[in-house]
Amino acid sequence: MNKKLSLRNAGTFLVFGGPSILAFTAVVIIPFIVGLYLTFTNWDVRTGDSSLIGFANYVEVFRDKVFLNQLWFTLKYVFFTVVIANLFAFFIALALSRGGKGEQWLRTGFFTPNLVGGIVLGYLWQTLFSQVLPYLGNKYGWSLFQTSWLTDTGTAFWALIIATAWQLVGYLMIIYIAGFTSVPGDVLEAASIDGAGRASVIRKIILPLTVPAIVICIFISLSRSFLTYDINLALTKGGPFNSTELATYHIVQKAFLSNQYGVGQAEAVVLFAVVAVIALTQSYLLKKLEVES
């Protein structure tokens, strides 16, 4: 099996690996390398001129108040989305993992928003926020809903979080359910014989034993919300007055509308670094809480 890679074997390599390795290299590896190079140039789309300018693009990124604001906005958005989506998902999963009647249907139901892509989801909530809620607000005199949430920076922020979390909940719920079913039944039984209350069972047994699921769920919700683009585009279009532009939205605008490829790419690299640091820190911290059952 450990035959040397000879001419005859090269055929096997090309047939079995050729198409996928070619596509992977052309779509991931080469753009990644070119992308890093791009951040050090002042490449101009219209003239095609480009020269090395060192770290100027990165300096620009950290000097750009707008981008830094939007990065901060993105961080807040990610934080609330992750916390809200995970809390709901955790408790719904808890209620849906004890083999009761109709659980299958309930799980199916809670998962449905994930069938819908971000664009459709964004417009669906846009219709609700801009039409249905103001109607309710005016009819019953609820001042909270009287004007569309999408026309005010503060409320548009929450609209964005609600729409994203709504979709994430079902997805995370599925993973939490898988995590809960791996908690051994005899441990739970022993706890209830010992007279442990529901709350302390959750806190002392279920939580520590489902740390792997929690790590995965937080990781997934972190990376998905950091990279939100289409919900943002469909729901608020970055408005009012560019106040709800999430980082990805900003990068797409920068690169493809204002043709600043180098700066846009440097922003993307910075965003990637932020996501990586946060994701690694959270999984490192949580992993320390992990126990053996």
Which residues inside 47-86 make contact with another protein, applying CB under 8 A?
A: none
| Minimum gap (Å) between residue 86 Cβ and another protein | 14
| Minimum gap (Å) between residue 36 Cβ and another protein | 9
Q: What is the largest CA-CA distance in the chain?
A: 80
Nearest to 155 by CA among 165, 169, 168, 145: 145
| Minimum gap (Å) between residue 234 Cβ and another protein | 7
Stretch 83-102 residues interacting with another protein (CB under 8 A): 92, 95-96, 100-102
The residue type at 125: W
Burial (0-12, 13-18, 19+ Cβ within 10 Å), 125 = buried
Nearest to 244 by CA among 258, 223, 255, 229: 229
Q: Among 53, 116, 196, 202, which residue sits at the site for another protein (rule: CB under 8 A)?
A: 116
Number of residues that bind another protein (CB under 8 A): 88
Terminal CA-to-CA distance of the chain, rounded, Å? Answer: 39
**Binding of another protein at residue 111 (CB under 8 A)?**
yes
Q: Among 1, 7, 193, 199, which residue sits at the site for another protein (rule: CB under 8 A)?
A: 1
Stretch 214-273 residues interacting with another protein (CB under 8 A): 216, 220, 223, 226-227, 229-230, 233-234, 248, 251-252, 255-256, 261, 264-265, 268-269, 271-272
3-state DSSP helix/strand/coil % of the chain, to nearest 5: 75, 0, 25
Q: What is the DSSP letter of 290?
A: -
Query: Could you give phi then psi for residue 288, rounded to 5 degrees?
Result: -65, -25
| Minimum gap (Å) between residue 225 Cβ and another protein | 12
Q: Among 49, 55, 72, 112, which residue sits at the site for another protein (rule: CB under 8 A)?
A: 112
**Binding of another protein at residue 166 (CB under 8 A)?**
yes
Stretch 121-150 residues interacting with another protein (CB under 8 A): 123-125, 127-128, 131-132, 135-136
CA angle 139, 140, 145 (to 5 degrees): 85
